[in-house]
Amino acid sequence: MSLWPVYTGTNEPHDGITRLPPPPPWRAFDGGPVLQTPTDDGSATSPDRVHRAHTYRATETCVQLVNAALYLRRPLLVTGPPGSGKSSLAYAVARELGLGPVLRWNITSRSALHDGLYQYDPLSRLYAAGRSPKARAPRDGAGVEDHLRLGPLGTALLPYDRPRALLIDEIDKSDLDLPNDLLNILEEGQYEIPELVRIAKHTPRADLLADGSDDPVTVERGRVRCRAFPFVVLTSNGEREFPPAFLRRCVTLRLRQPRDEHLEEIVRAHLGEPDAYARTLIARFLERGTGGELATDQLLNAIYLTGAAGIDTASRDELARQLMPYLTQAADPGPDAL
């Protein structure tokens, strides 16, 4: 019986991840003690992201490369224009395969590796020590774990029994050093927390809060090593090039704006069967897409609003035109083009 594909892109939840073949020998991890992957009851995810996970429509290429990343235990670098579904993919895969709530790290120009791994607040520790006359001095290491919290990347690398889904969103907005800083972490599947390593002789086990949870997890001797390599999705709008050393460690998926039947299928998933006017907008959207960059959510907004507003046809045309401006500097041909 073929085990390919594990991810089918059908949006039907199943337990196929448990039948994933063993990793290649160079991508095997043995972290412990084993943690049970939390279930996603929807409370940790915004309604918008739940909706996107339910309605995401994967192409055949997308399904193939998601499975390649899962089998090879490699990060998936997803590039494409805004609105092409890059971030929604992580939520769709997590929902279908039961990978728990998606861990999300939104990248800015100020993001550093330690932000994704863990946060430590030494000032709050000093303040807590000053308030308690029985507390030992901070240099003794007492209570350091109370002022540490794992970040999304640090949580994804905990030794869960099945992969966690991690979305590193807009990696191309990062400082130039961040992709290189990620290389060793993503290659080795492990990291250290120096604040805990220093006190490991006296405090070998520490209970920390993980990202997106109020339940503590145990870290032994300040070292974290994954067991099931997480499903890591790194998104990029194509605003910069990445170093070859980074690219060779990723499976790369290039998304394009959906066309024809795929676009109509997306509209149907979000808004139901398109009526005659919605089909007209779809055709105009596809025609205008040859003259500049547009995003699928612009079309969805236009179809929803022109249908919900209950206005006359001429006003609907003008409203739809205003909702679908070009996103690039390409010249907009004007109102007659819509």
Mean pLDDT of all residues belonging to the chain: 88
Residues in Cβ contact with 67 at an 8 Å cutoff, skipping those fewer than 6 apart: 4, 5, 6, 7
Which of the four pLDDT bands, split at 50, 70 and 90, describes residue 125?
low
Q: Which pTM does this prediction carry?
A: 0.88
Residues 163-215: tens digit of each pLDDT: 999 999 999 999 989 999 999 999 999 999 999 999 999 889 999 999 988 88
Q: Residue range 4-16: average pLDDT?
A: 94
pLDDT computed for residue 254 by the predictor: 96
CATH number of 16-254: 3.40.50.300
Q: Is the pLDDT of residue 156 over 80?
A: yes
Query: Of all residues in the chain, what percent carry a pLDDT higher than 70?
Result: 89
What stretches of the chain show up as alpha helix (H) in DSSP?
A: 47-55, 60-72, 86-97, 113-117, 122-131, 152-156, 178-188, 194-197, 244-247, 260-271, 276-288, 296-308, 313-323
Which of the four pLDDT bands, split at 50, 70 and 90, describes residue 337?
very low
Domain boundary assignment for the chain: 16-254, 260-337
pLDDT computed for residue 132 by the predictor: 57
Q: Say if CB 28 and CB 243 are below 8 A apart.
A: no
Please name which of 220, 98, 75, 74 lies closest in space to residue 159, comparing C-alpha atoms. Answer: 220
pLDDT computed for residue 172 by the predictor: 94
- How many CB atoms are closer than 10 A to CB 124? 11
> Does residue 55 sit in helix, strand or coil?
helix
Q: Say if CB 96 and CB 165 are below 8 A apart.
A: no
Least confident of 17-21, 45-49, 235-239, 284-288: 45-49
Q: Residue range 105-130: average pLDDT?
A: 83
pLDDT computed for residue 45 by the predictor: 66
Round to whole Å and give the CA distance between 209 and 118: 10
Q: Residue range 83-99: average pLDDT?
A: 94
Round to whole Å and give the CA distance between 39 and 16: 15
Residues 16-52: tens digit of each pLDDT: 999 999 999 999 999 999 999 998 866 556 787 788 8
Q: Say if CB 197 and CB 130 are below 8 A apart.
A: no
